[in-house]
A and B are shown apart, each in its own frame.
Chain A
Amino acid sequence: MTAAARPLPSHEPPDALLQAKADGAPPVLKFEKVGFSYDGRTIMRDVSFAVAPGDILALLGPSGCGKTTILNMVAGFLRPTAGVAVVDGREITGPGPDRGVVFQAAALFDWMTVAENIAFSLRCAGARKGERRAVAEEMAALVGLTGFEDAYPYQLSGGMRQRVGLARVLAAKPKVMLMDEPFSALDVQTRESLQEEVLRIRDRTGCTILFVTHAIDEAAFLGDRIFLLNDLKAGAYDTFDVDLPTPRASPDNRLHPSFLRLRETIYRRMRH
């Protein structure tokens, strides 16, 4: 593909999208004509898409369009009011450790240390103390928090708290990671370094990631594919494939012509 962007027609039939990737790996996540209403008020209808394993899908769209609602349905916090949401071939019926959520406000457990926060999923699964500690230290190292294992969340900066939120999800070894504007409250430097962190983590773990964001830059830098959600009530959105050199985490990609072009394309599309 030469151009960075490949806008698809808004009403593309689901079948084409269900073919998540050219190499034909079965999608890890699939929406089939999903609809959702809050107390009878329909906010989306007939939304279909699929995500290939190891892909990062960035969801971009105006405030209130339903990004968080999509994420909450994947997480299992909300049930679709129409259609089906499928993870790993099974319909989603509730929350589970195969889908980890990184919250916008971190939502750490303030009464637990960093290590206890990170190892929470292991504790729930009945792992022994020694194992929990080992995993906590490993994950803390992975997100650059070595030395803070015994600190409490209130002793950390905002960026560090998000790193804990990330490490805590990673420790559960989820198939899919769901991130709802996790870095939007952080300063530019922290945000960019965490974006690179996410890409490195994906490379290392092969995790599939759904990333909600308001920022075109963030979507274009992080995503393998971007959905611009412009009319979910009609199940319509634009798709952009990102084509940037690997390793994707390289900061140089922020200046890559392909990145700049994609950014412009999306910007124009949003403003059209």
Chain B
Amino acid sequence: MNRSDERRERLRYVLVATLSPLAILALWAFAAARGWTSPIILPPPSAIWASFLDMAANGYSGVSLWTHVAASLARVSVAYVAGAALGVGLGLLRGRSRLIDAVLLAPAELLRPIPPLGLIPLFILWFGVGETSKVLLIFLSVLLIMMVNAQAGVRASSLDSLRAAQSMGANRWQVFRFVVLPSALPQIMTGLRVAMGTALTILVASELLGGDRGLGFLILDASSFFRTTYVFAGVAVIGLIGLATDRGLAWAGRRIVHWEGRR
């Protein structure tokens, strides 16, 4: 495939990716306009947009929309960064050391199948309904996801490349730094995207616990007053944050592991 073909291909991809949600919106608007749906159940996109503009201008429940967004983002980013760092670290260690793997095997593998939301009551008992519970819940889910992915990534290094490094004088640390870690990166980047999706899910769920800030709170509050357009607007904001972070991570992944899939 030559350059201009490739460009046309990409352009078409972007075009279709943009048109498909617009088509869904159009269909939705059409259905609402024809009165096929009740505004309480499925309000028209225009009403949702109006609610969004209202929140953007006047805030919701006494604080600005951006305060809600910032509160959510703060929780998720603290938990995500800390969970990813520790999870990757532990996963790499488990992949490299059988002793550490043995130590962590039972605790990690027992914890992993438990749906994080099932832990909410326990977390409330231990840490209350404040920030600690919310952040720890997200932190734990991210950590477990990243640990699995990093450990699997360690196994991705080929025997030949490990041997090549050793026969060129690399010590244990250098083998890790220059071969094991880069080989694990593709899997780690994939894990980061999965973990981000999960983190946002848990975020919203944890904000349903209580508190008066955050997008999860906003959605719950609006729904209990049947302000459906606000529920939709809040959901849309979360969706857009998810989309943006995922695209961002995918883009970063392509740059960081530029060699992946190109052999």
Q: Show the binding face of A for B, using Cβ within 8 Å.
A: 75-77, 94-97, 99-101, 103, 105, 107-112, 120-121, 123-125, 152-154, 168-169, 172
Residue from the set A75, A96, A109, A123 with the largest chain B CB neighbour count within 10 Å: A109
Which chain B residues numbered 235 to 251 have a C-beta less than 8 Å away from chain A? Answer: none
User: In the bound complex, do residue B167 and residue A154 qualify as a contact, i.e. CB atoms below 8 Å apart?
Assistant: no
A121-B262 contact, Cβ under 8 Å, with A77-B163, A107-B158, A107-B160: no
B169–A103 CB distance below 8 A: no
Q: Which of A76, A77, A111, A120 contacts B168 (CB 8 A)?
A: A120
State whether B163 touches A110 (Cβ < 8 A). no
Q: Is the CB of B160 within 8 A of A121?
A: no
Minimal Cβ-Cβ distance residue in A for B181: A111
Binds A, one of B39-47, B100-108, B170-178: B170-178
Q: A109-B178, A109-B179, A110-B263 are in contact. List 19 more A-B contacts (CB 8 A).
A: A76-B166, A76-B167, A95-B163, A101-B167, A103-B163, A103-B164, A105-B160, A107-B158, A107-B164, A108-B161, A111-B182, A111-B257, A120-B165, A120-B178, A121-B168, A124-B168, A124-B169, A152-B259, A154-B259
Q: How far is the CA of A77 from the CA of B182 in the complex (A)?
A: 22
Bound-state CA distance A111–B153 (Å) is 15
- Chain A residues, Cβ within 8 Å of B171: 124
Does B3 touch A at the CB level, under 8 Å?
no
> How many angstroms from the CA of A96 to the CA of B166 in the assembled complex?
7
Seen from chain B, the residues whose Cβ lies within 8 Å of a Cβ on chain A are 158, 160-161, 163-171, 174, 178-179, 182, 185, 257-259, 262-263
* Distance in Å: Cβ of B175 to nearest Cβ of chain A: 9
Q: Is the CB of A97 within 8 A of B182?
A: no
Q: In the complex, which residues of chain B have a beta carbon less than 8 angstroms from the beta carbon of A120?
A: 165, 168, 170, 178
The smallest beta-carbon distance between B160 and chain A, in angstroms, is 4
Q: Are B169 and A121 in contact (CB under 8 A)?
A: yes
Question: Looking at the complex, which one of A95, A101, A121, A153 makes contact with B259 (CB distance below 8 Å)?
Answer: A153
Which of B161, B169, B182 counts the most A-chain CB atoms under 10 A from its CB? Answer: B169
The 6 closest A-B pairs by CB, nearest first: A107-B160, A97-B169, A121-B168, A110-B259, A95-B166, A154-B262
Tell me, in angstroms, the Cα distance from A76 to B162 when the chains sit together. 13
B contact residues around A123 at 8 Å (CB): 174, 178
Chain A residue with the shortest CB-CB distance to B173: A124
The answer to whether A95 and B262 have CB atoms under 8 Å apart is no
Question: What residues of B have a CB within 8 angstroms of the CB of A169 in the complex?
Answer: 168
Shortest A11–chain B CB gap in Å is 33
* Alpha-carbon distance A120/B169, docked complex (angstroms): 9
A191 nearest CB across to chain B (Å): 20
Contact B165 A97 (CB under 8 A): no
Inter-chain contacts of A100 with B (CB < 8 A)? 167-168
Q: How far is the CA of A152 from the CA of B164 in the complex (A)?
A: 17
Partner of A75, one of B161, B167, B179: B167
With a CB–CB cut-off of 8 A, which chain A residues contact B178? 109, 112, 120, 123-124
Cross-chain contact A172 with B258 (CB below 8 angstroms): no
In the bound complex, do residue B259 and residue A103 qualify as a contact, i.e. CB atoms below 8 Å apart?
no
User: Given A111-B259, A152-B258, A152-B259, does the pair A172, B164 have CB atoms closer than 8 Å?
Assistant: no
